[in-house]
Amino acid sequence: MCGERDGTIELRYARLVLCEECFKKYFVERVRKTVDEYKMFKPSERVAVAVSGGKDSVALLHSLKMAYPDLDIHVIHIDLGIDEYSEEARKVTEEVSKLVNVPLHIFSLKEEKGYTIKDFIGTKYGRRICGTCGIIKRYYMSYLAKKIGADVLATGHLLDDVVEVMITLFVDGKFGDLITQKPVLEPDFPNQVRKVKPLVKIYEWETRLYVDLNNLPRLTRSCPLRIGARSIRRKEIIMRFEEQEPAFMRRLYRVFTKKLIPILEKSVEKPRLQPCKICGGPSLTGICSKCAREVYLKDKKHLDIKIG
Ligand SMILES: [Zn+2]
Ligand SMILES: [Zn+2]
């Protein structure tokens, strides 16, 4: 791109070899193009960026700020209360927010609700604790984004993540759920915000490189509660396809979003959602999965939890 420096980074999917400086620019440019292509937000909107401290969300925040220096960006962070892991996550998030000069809002489960993810250990939700953590995290990210007046919630989901989920859902025959992997999800309830995935065309190895080349802080620990590596194993298998056939993941994502999902949206009946009696959020049965878990903890473990 620059015609000056030696190219050291090979992007096989794009048949490009770039120098480090041009790679950083190319990364930011692709984030901008993805946002524009899917009309993720308007320049006048307030964008909440969910930062966990991991490399993907750090790369998301930094590249969004580089692509849109004047955008009204706010960082939101959920403190899950998982010992040193959460402490480091919080520290990294504070550091990177300061670095890009963006206000930070933290929601601490312990302080605001009276429990932590660790409280699920040893309960019936303990075996699938990552799923429970995801449900709770997603709820409070939306909640916090809404609370700070954001129009949009941006998350750091990457191409590798989305393709892995799509293949899993496809194999399991859960075609209706594929719709949730769209790059833009409009709210289906008034207390929600639009959710967007600006990194959805970026490979995982690219975010790692972007964070390294920009010397950005990032979480060094992995979550101590994480069990089962099925999704990681699947990602490795998908990566092997990619090695044999560059741009495989990009093509698969394109086919799913441009061809399959539009058909599904017409033919698959949307689940009939009703407002949760406790929090007002979307639910299938009248109590949402998040509130069901909070009620369970309160009843079984007699914790002083603020439900709702
Ligand atoms: Zn260059
Ligand atoms: Zn609820």
Sign of CA dihedral 83, 79, 153, 308: positive
In-domain check, residue 116: yes
77 has a pLDDT exceeding 90: yes
Longest dimension (CA), the chain: 66
Residue 228: band (very low, low, confident or very high) from pLDDT cuts 50, 70, 90? low
Distance from residue 139's CA to the centre of ligand 2 (Å) = 9
In-domain check, residue 298: no
Three-state DSSP at 247 gives coil
Ligand nearest to the CA of 25: 1
Residue at 83: amino acid letter: D
Degrees to nearest 5, angle at CA 185 with 181 and 187: 140
If one counts the domains in the chain, the total is: 1
In-domain check, residue 64: yes
Tell me the β-bridge partners of 16: 11
Ligand nearest to the CA of 287: 2
In-domain check, residue 179: yes
Distance from residue 256's CA to the centre of ligand 2 (Å) = 31
Residue environment code for 13-46, b if the CB has 16+ CB neighbours within 10 A, otherwise e: beeeebbeebbbebbbebbbebbeebebbeeeeb
In 3D space, the residue among 162, 156, 160 whose CA is nearest the CA of residue 242 turns out to be 160
In-domain check, residue 99: yes
Q: β-pairing, 46-50 with 274-275? A: unpaired
In-domain check, residue 300: no
Q: What is the mean pLDDT of the chain?
A: 94
Question: Which residues are close to ligand 2, an ion, with C-beta < 5 A?
Answer: 276, 278-279, 281, 288, 291
**Domain that includes residue 77, residue range:** 9-270
Q: What is the pLDDT of residue 297?
A: 93
Ligand nearest to the CA of 24: 1
Q: CATH number of the domain that 20 lies in?
A: 3.40.50.620
Residues 259-298: tens digit of each pLDDT: 999 999 898 887 788 999 999 888 999 999 999 999 999 9
- Got the DSSP string for 23-46? HHHHHHHHHHHHHHHTT---TTSE
In-domain check, residue 282: no
Residues 163-181: tens digit of each pLDDT: 999 999 989 998 888 998 9
Ligand nearest to the CA of 9: 1
Cα dist. 196→33, 36, 68, 180, 217 in Å? 14, 12, 15, 11, 23
In 3D space, the residue among 244, 274, 242 whose CA is nearest the CA of residue 158 turns out to be 242
Q: What is the pLDDT of residue 308?
A: 79
With a pLDDT cut of 90, the percent of the chain lying above it is: 81
- Length of the chain in residues, anyone? 308
- Got the DSSP string for 56-110? HHHHHHHHHHHH-TTSEEEEEEEE---HHHHHHHHHHHHHHHHHTT--EEEEEHH
Residue environment code for 118-138, b if the CB has 16+ CB neighbours within 10 A, otherwise e: bbbeeeebeeebeebbebbbb
Distance from residue 15's CA to the centre of ligand 1 (Å) = 15
In-domain check, residue 131: yes
Tell me the β-bridge partners of 184: 196
Q: Global pTM? A: 0.95
